[in-house]
Chain A
Amino acid sequence: MDKFSTHTGIGVPLRRSNVDTDQIIPAVYLKRVTRTGFEDGLFAAWRSDETFVLNQPAYAAGSILVAGPDFGTGSSREHAVWALQNYGFRVVIGPRFGDIFRGNSGKAGLVIAGVGQDVVEKLWDLLEAAPGSELTVDLVAKTITAGADVFEFSIDDYTRHRLLEGLDDIGLTLQHADLITQFEATRPSWLPRTLPAKTAG
């Protein structure tokens, strides 16, 4: 997982509430065995609508989503986070999020920035008045900069630490790689083991 300190990118106003993970990516798009390529399924039901925000050229390259309340509720699918990341989003700003989605996001490196509904309304107005405007999200200072305005956002300390250090679950475990190796060395001979891959022919 890459370290995250600050990110500047185009803000996308998503004026909807209760966008659950089925709306972020419907189940029919979950058939890949990789974590990439899910951008095609992102907000699939709305992508055929020409007026949908991501179909407007000014927002198409957006990387900071400004969402309404209760974004990411519903099914626990990790693909919802991957679809946003695959599309190019690094940050989702919003007043309230589904718990599992928020957890999955932190683990995968997508920053979930909590703000009040009033801040969301200001950001929506600003981004709609000047489509293509950039926002800057500073994870060190926990601030969002929009033109001359600076807003604070909330994120729990542990998740912030992990994002700043670029530590995903695997990275955290691998901090104990020596202990794992020591343990594996004591593995009795009668336990099943991984066999070397067979070579062709």
Chain B
Amino acid sequence: MVCGDSHTSTHGAFGALAFGIGTSEVEHVLATQTLPQARPKTMAVTINGALPEGVTAKDVVLALIAKVGTGGGQGYVVEYRGDTIENLSMEGRMTICNMSIEWGAKAGLVAPDDTTFAYLKGRPHAPEGEDWDAAVAYWRTLFTDPDAVFDAEVTIDAATLTPFVTWGTNPGQGVPLGAAVPSPEDFADPVDRAAAERALAYMDLTAGTAMRDIRVDTVFLGSCTNGRIEDLRLAASVLKGHTIADGVRMLVVPGSARVRLQAESEGLDKVFLEFGAEWRAAGCSMCLGMNPDQLAPGERSASTSNRNFEGRQGKGGRTHLVSPPVAAATAIRGTLSSPSDL
């Protein structure tokens, strides 16, 4: 699957080889039904172990990017595997595959399994009847051979993970929520050190400040990374019964019209509105500030989106990438927080 948007990689959650392409490549596909490609290198990202309480797929991928760097996946198609991945919902797998591009990978995918098939069955445009059976029989063949050799491998122990947040201006500049803002001297590589210096200046942060002491102006819950029904349910379950912190605004933007309708049928919109958040129509909203949903210069956000680049959410805006439960807890306390702080 190819599409003119870099986050097309989200569809890798379904076992699809899915990646973003440029303008002329889109034209090429429409004219020929094909796209010539060089064979990419392969990488396995193996994640095993049970995720600790309060740790989500978003934390997994932020921790992964902090480990391998924003260029760590360049030239690779990545398979996410291991029992942590197998135990994730489709929404969680989509979150991880979505951010493949954020560490440079061409595409990221997860082998389809019963979780995948249960998610797809009965959905609009899914095959039906005999076509469904034929499709599932084929999909069951889409797994990596046990003796397969990858060009590169990364392993992560899920049990060591905690809620993860970014402090800098690229998605690889992240630390556990319980940690402090790093110092440029912490980085041995001179390029990384210079990048950290620039990022701290832009983010107006001082090395050594506890991440939990960082106060935000805006909380954004949404985007193609974390705008799914599971994300909204999780955030609503944290917010319920609380009131938004003084001086904080929260935008809740479902990832699609279907998610919005589903959320409203479950009454989640009322939870968000009673909390003091804004309940919006589906779309990209503050993820990239294409519409008036922007940070003012110097404003700081906790955002469930995928990119914390300079100016991404508005000129001079400062973005901390977070998971949906961290976004919700941050909206309650006004400082970067997890539900365990409540």
Interface residues of A (CB under 8 A from B): 76, 78, 104, 107-108, 169-170, 173-174, 177, 180, 184, 188-192
Pair B132/A190 contact, Cβ less than 8 Å: yes
In the assembly, what is the distance between CA of A78 and CA of B4, in Å?
14
At the interface, is chain B mostly helix, strand, loop or mixed?
helix
Task: Pick 11 A–B contacts, CB within 8 A, sort by A.
Answer: A104-B24, A107-B24, A108-B24, A169-B24, A170-B32, A174-B31, A180-B32, A184-B33, A190-B127, A190-B132, A190-B134
In the assembly, what is the distance between CA of A194 and CA of B34, in Å?
15
Which of chain B's residues have a CB closer than 8 A to the CB of A104?
Answer: 24
Pair A192/B125 contact, Cβ less than 8 Å: yes
- Which of these, A78, A184, A188, A192, contacts B24 with CB under 8 Å? A78
Which of chain A's residues have a CB closer than 8 A to the CB of B34?
Answer: 173, 180
Within the complex, what minimum Cβ distance (angstroms) separates B227 from chain A?
23
> Is B189 an interface residue when CB atoms closer than 8 A count as contact?
no
- Which of these, B23, B36, B125, B134, contacts A78 with CB under 8 Å? B23
> Is B28 an interface residue when CB atoms closer than 8 A count as contact?
yes
- Quick one: given A169-B24, A173-B32, A173-B34, are A189 and B125 in contact (CB under 8 Å)? no
Within the complex, what minimum Cβ distance (angstroms) separates A189 from chain B?
6
Pair B28/A173 contact, Cβ less than 8 Å: yes
- Quick one: given A78-B22, A78-B23, A107-B24, are A170 and B134 in contact (CB under 8 Å)? no
Considering the complex of A and B, which 7 residue pairs feature the smallest CB-CB distances, nearest first?
A: A190-B131, A190-B127, A190-B135, A173-B32, A170-B31, A190-B134, A170-B28
In the assembly, what is the distance between CA of A143 and CA of B138, in Å?
57
Pair A180/B33 contact, Cβ less than 8 Å: yes
Within the complex, what minimum Cβ distance (angstroms) separates A146 from chain B?
33
In the assembly, what is the distance between CA of A188 and CA of B27, in Å?
25
Against A, the Cβ 8 Å flags (1 = close, 0 = not) of B31-51 are: 111101000000000000000
Given A104-B24, A108-B24, A169-B24, 18 new contacts (CB under 8 A) = A76-B22, A78-B22, A78-B23, A107-B24, A169-B28, A169-B36, A170-B28, A173-B31, A173-B32, A173-B36, A174-B31, A180-B34, A188-B134, A189-B134, A190-B131, A190-B132, A190-B138, A191-B135
Pair A174/B132 contact, Cβ less than 8 Å: no
- Tally of contact residues, B, Cβ under 8 A: 17
The winner among B28, B31, B34, B125 for most chain A CB atoms within 10 A is B34
Within the complex, what minimum Cβ distance (angstroms) separates A193 from chain B?
10
Against A, the Cβ 8 Å flags (1 = close, 0 = not) of B318-337 are: 00000000000000000000
Which of chain A's residues have a CB closer than 8 A to the CB of B134?
Answer: 188-190
In the assembly, what is the distance between CA of A128 and CA of B22, in Å?
39
User: Which chain A residue shows the least CB distance to B23?
Assistant: A78
Count how many pairs of residues, one from A and one from B, have CB atoms less than 8 Å apart in the complex: 39
Which of chain A's residues have a CB closer than 8 A to the CB of B36?
Answer: 169, 173
User: Which chain A residue shows the least CB distance to B1?
Assistant: A192
Against A, the Cβ 8 Å flags (1 = close, 0 = not) of B177-213 are: 0000000000000000000000000000000000000
Which of chain B's residues have a CB closer than 8 A to the CB of A191?
Answer: 135
Which of chain A's residues have a CB closer than 8 A to the CB of B31?
Answer: 170, 173-174
The winner among A76, A169, A177, A190 for most chain B CB atoms within 10 A is A190
Pair A174/B32 contact, Cβ less than 8 Å: yes
Within the complex, what minimum Cβ distance (angstroms) separates A101 from chain B?
13
Within the complex, what minimum Cβ distance (angstroms) separates B328 from chain A?
36
User: Which chain B residue shows the least CB distance to A194?
Assistant: B33
Within the complex, what minimum Cβ distance (angstroms) separates B122 from chain A?
15
Within the complex, what minimum Cβ distance (angstroms) separates B282 from chain A?
22
Against A, the Cβ 8 Å flags (1 = close, 0 = not) of B102-142 are: 00000000000000000000000101000110110010000
Which of chain B's residues have a CB closer than 8 A to the CB of A170?
Answer: 27-28, 31-32
Which of chain B's residues have a CB closer than 8 A to the CB of A169?
Answer: 24, 28, 36
- Which of these, A107, A108, A174, A188, contacts B138 with CB under 8 Å? A188
Q: Which B206-256 residues have a C-beta within 8 angstroms of A?
A: none
In the assembly, what is the distance between CA of A108 and CA of B23, in Å?
12
User: Which chain B residue shows the least CB distance to A172?
Assistant: B36
In the assembly, what is the distance between CA of A104 and CA of B24, in Å?
9
Within the complex, what minimum Cβ distance (angstroms) separates B251 from chain A?
25
Q: Which B14-32 residues have a C-beta within 8 angstroms of A?
A: 22-24, 27-28, 31-32
In the assembly, what is the distance between CA of A129 and CA of B127, in Å?
71
Pair B33/A189 contact, Cβ less than 8 Å: no
Within the complex, what minimum Cβ distance (angstroms) separates B268 from chain A?
30
Which of chain B's residues have a CB closer than 8 A to the CB of A108?
Answer: 24
Which of chain A's residues have a CB closer than 8 A to the CB of B138?
Answer: 188, 190
Q: Which B71-109 residues have a C-beta within 8 angstroms of A?
A: none
User: Which chain A residue shows the least CB distance to B128?
Assistant: A190
Within the complex, what minimum Cβ distance (angstroms) separates A39 from chain B?
18
The winner among B23, B125, B135 for most chain A CB atoms within 10 A is B23
In the assembly, what is the distance between CA of A169 and CA of B26, in Å?
12
In the assembly, what is the distance between CA of A107 and CA of B27, in Å?
13
User: Which chain B residue shows the least CB distance to A170?
Assistant: B31
User: Which chain B residue shows the least CB distance to A173?
Assistant: B32
Pair A189/B131 contact, Cβ less than 8 Å: yes
